[in-house]
């Protein structure tokens, strides 16, 4: 099932919706959980390889971008050639880190952001992990000596670089070499663990700068946001994960005791939600070897701080969570939480997105950020930003890549929600009501 068909099921008909699905080229990175061997020098985790891919999905309504979601997918495989360590190697793993969701409030048609987010995650779960391993940019490239002669280097004379360029244009072998070095010879095991991780912290804006100035933007507070995500993930756990097999679903609210956290599970479809995290069951384990390092994540920032303070080898998970709640970004009196799921999916993930049809895979990380910035670096204090970003992305796609945004027809079964920005303003305390005492005007 394509992304379009999944989204059509949750969007109203005739909303003039379009989807922009941008994907970075998969690249090999250092392990996201620091291996013990890196610090202790032991050979416990010999040769696992991690491949990172970023998805950026933006929805437009009536030629304005109105919603965006940023997700990272990490695929970890073990090097099968290393038979000696086979027994202690953990199974292959797919980790989906939900980084940011945001809206800007300029949609002319009200839709359920929650449903849109849920089906995008369903789509990501359907993707075959081997799809990410087809053309990976390796961490280190093994060049032959003669290949290096053809590299275009800034330090080199202009004439030499021009000669190399003309050789490249005439001689196809150089081009073939470029393709080959983006290929890692690894494959994914049939049965694998899927993890989903996210950190919920409300903010006025994440991906649409300046959008908080729009009074029509609906911003959930900490508690609402945690429940919003819990509802989305709970549905995924119930419908997409194998409940009989090693399934873990956890919610951690730093600073809140187990009993109080447990109260949030009332109404969840999955009956076995636990207070805690999926990173380790043993609070005495060293945090450095359990907590994954994600981009722009407070847990990762705290781990880096522990390294700077030279406490990384003394801080266990108990201390880590305790001290984390004292950090500024956790202390701003808003409720923040960490949600995690770990288990096997019921359906086989066998879908491969098709370039130009339901995904645009950029040729470089530079191009990925360039295109993403058309949306995430625009100013959204007025509606102009939403129109401009739509115009710029569409223009780039048609003139540079001969591609288009994907049209969504929606479904007759989904009714457009009522536009009710007054409720929104009341919720944010921005309008004067009879319940609010009015200040006397000075004479
Ligand atoms: N006025 C009144 N109620 C509204 C309005 C409105 N304008 N818009 C939506 N609602 C109601 C909906 O009816 C729904 O109610 P229900 O649960 O009773 O059905 C509820 O609010 C949620 O509506 P959604 O359409 O699902 O979500 P929403 O439009 O509120 O978007 C989002 C949620 C993206 C989190 C938004 O609040 C936002 O942009 N927040 C700012 C950025 C942010 O904090 N992002 C999350 C970061 S954490 C992370 O991404 C991992």
Confidence band (pLDDT; 50, 70, 90) for 294?
Answer: very high
Q: Does position 442 have pLDDT exceeding 60, yes or no?
A: no
Residue 363 DSSP symbol: S
Q: Which residues are catalytic?
A: 297
Neighbours of 374 (CB within 10 A): 22
pLDDT of residue 82: 47
**Tokens standing for residue 100:** 């940011």
| CA dihedral (342, 344, 345, 346) positive or negative | negative
Least confident of 26-35, 174-183, 207-216, 303-312: 174-183
Confidence band (pLDDT; 50, 70, 90) for 2?
Answer: confident
Residue nearest to atom 6 of ligand 1 (CA): 424
Cα–Cα dist 408/402, whole Å? 19
Helix (H) / strand (E) element for 302: namely helix 298-308
pTM, two decimals, is 0.86
pLDDT of residue 85: 41
Q: Does position 11 have pLDDT exceeding 60, yes or no?
A: yes
**Residue ranges around ligand 1 (CB below 6 Å):** 98, 100-103, 112-114, 198, 200-203, 206, 218-220, 225, 420-421, 423-424
Q: How far is the CA of 105 from the centre of ligand 1 (A)?
A: 10
Secondary structure of 205-266 as H, E, C letters: CCCCCCHHHCCCCCCCCHHHHHHHHHHHHHHHHHHHECCCCCCEEEEECCCCCHHHHHHCCC
pLDDT (mean) for 21-41:
83
Question: Which atom number of ligand 1 is nearest to the Cα of residue 102?
Answer: 39
Confidence band (pLDDT; 50, 70, 90) for 36?
Answer: confident
State whether residue 345 is helix, strand or coil.
Answer: strand
Predicted confidence (pLDDT) per residue in 368-399, tens digit: 999 999 999 999 999 999 999 999 999 999 99
Neighbours of 166 (CB within 10 A): 10
* Residue the block writes with tokens 């879908």: 351
Strands (E), 313-416: 337-343, 360-361, 406-408
ipTM for this prediction: 0.98
pLDDT (mean) for 3-12:
95
Strand partners for 22 = 56, 360
Question: Which atom number of ligand 1 is nearest to the Cα of residue 100?
Answer: 50
Predicted confidence (pLDDT) per residue in 131-175, tens digit: 998 888 888 766 666 666 677 666 777 888 788 778 777 765 544
Confidence band (pLDDT; 50, 70, 90) for 92?
Answer: confident
Residue of 95, 83, 84, 80 whose CA lies nearest to 187: 80
pLDDT of residue 357: 87
Cα–Cα dist 365/182, whole Å? 13
Question: Which atom number of ligand 1 is nearest to the Cα of residue 69?
Answer: 50
Average pLDDT, the chain: 84
Cα–Cα dist 124/360, whole Å? 15
Predicted confidence (pLDDT) per residue in 102-114, tens digit: 999 999 999 999 9
Confidence band (pLDDT; 50, 70, 90) for 296?
Answer: confident
Residue nearest to atom 3 of ligand 1 (CA): 424
Q: Does position 421 have pLDDT exceeding 90, yes or no?
A: no
pLDDT of residue 63: 97
Q: How far is the CA of 345 from the centre of ligand 1 (A)?
A: 28
Report the residue among 98, 99, 112, 113 best suited for mutation to probe ligand 1: largest number of ligand atoms under 8 A from its CB. Answer: 113
Cα–Cα dist 406/20, whole Å? 7
Confidence band (pLDDT; 50, 70, 90) for 419?
Answer: low
pLDDT of residue 164: 77
Residue nearest to atom 9 of ligand 1 (CA): 218
pLDDT (mean) for 257-271:
94
**Tokens standing for residue 48:** 């696992």
């Amino acid at each position: 099932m394509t992304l379009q068909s999944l989204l059509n099921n949750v969007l109203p008909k005739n909303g003039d919706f379009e989807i922009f699905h941008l994907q970075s080229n998969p690249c090999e990175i250092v392990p996201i959980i620091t291996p013990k061997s890196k610090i202790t020098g032991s050979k416990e985790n010999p040769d696992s390889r991690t491949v990172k891919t970023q998805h950026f999905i933006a929805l437009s309504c009536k030629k304005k971008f109105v919603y965006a979601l940023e997700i990272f997918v990490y695929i970890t495989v073990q090097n099968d050639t290393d038979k000696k360590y086979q027994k202690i190697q953990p199974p292959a793993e797919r980790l989906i880190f939900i980084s940011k969701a945001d809206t800007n409030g300029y949609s002319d048609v009200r839709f359920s952001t929650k449903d849109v987010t849920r089906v995008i995650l369903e789509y990501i779960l359907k993707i075959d992990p081997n799809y990410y391993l087809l053309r990976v940019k390796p961490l280190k490239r093994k060049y032959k000596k003669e290949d290096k002669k053809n590299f275009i280097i800034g330090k080199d004379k202009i004439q030499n670089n021009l000669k190399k360029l003309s050789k490249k244009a005439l001689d196809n072998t150089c081009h073939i070499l470029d393709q080959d070095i983006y290929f890692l010879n690894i494959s994914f095991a049939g049965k694998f663990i899927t993890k989903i991780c996210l950190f919920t912290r409300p903010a006025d804006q994440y991906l649409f700068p300046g959008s908080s100035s729009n009074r029509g933007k609906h911003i959930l507070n900490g508690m609402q946001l945690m429940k919003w995500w819990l509802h989305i993930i709970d549905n995924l756990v119930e419908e997409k994960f194998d409940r009989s097999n090693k399934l873990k679903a956890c919610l951690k609210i730093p600073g809140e005791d187990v009993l109080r956290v447990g109260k949030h599970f009332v109404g969840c479809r999955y009956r076995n939600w636990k207070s805690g995290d999926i990173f380790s069951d043993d609070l005495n384990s060293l945090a450095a070897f359990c907590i994954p390092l994600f981009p722009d994540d407070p847990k990762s920032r705290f781990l880096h701080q522990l390294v700077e303070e030279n406490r990384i080898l003394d801080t266990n998970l108990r201390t880590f969570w305790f001290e984390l709640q004292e950090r500024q970004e956790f202390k701003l009196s808003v409720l923040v939480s960490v949600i995690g799921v770990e288990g096997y999916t019921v359906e086989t993930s066998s879908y491969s997105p098709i370039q130009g049809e339901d995904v645009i895979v950029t040729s470089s990380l530079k191009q990925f950020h360039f295109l993403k910035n058309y949306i995430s670096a625009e100013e959204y204090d007025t509606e102009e930003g939403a129109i401009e970003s739509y115009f710029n992305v569409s223009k780039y796609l048609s003139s540079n890549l001969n591609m288009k945004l994907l049209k969504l027809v929606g479904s007759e079964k989904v009714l457009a929600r009522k536009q009710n920005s007054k409720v929104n303003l009341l919720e944010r305390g921005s309008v004067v009501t009879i319940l609010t005492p009015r200040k006397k005007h000075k004479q």
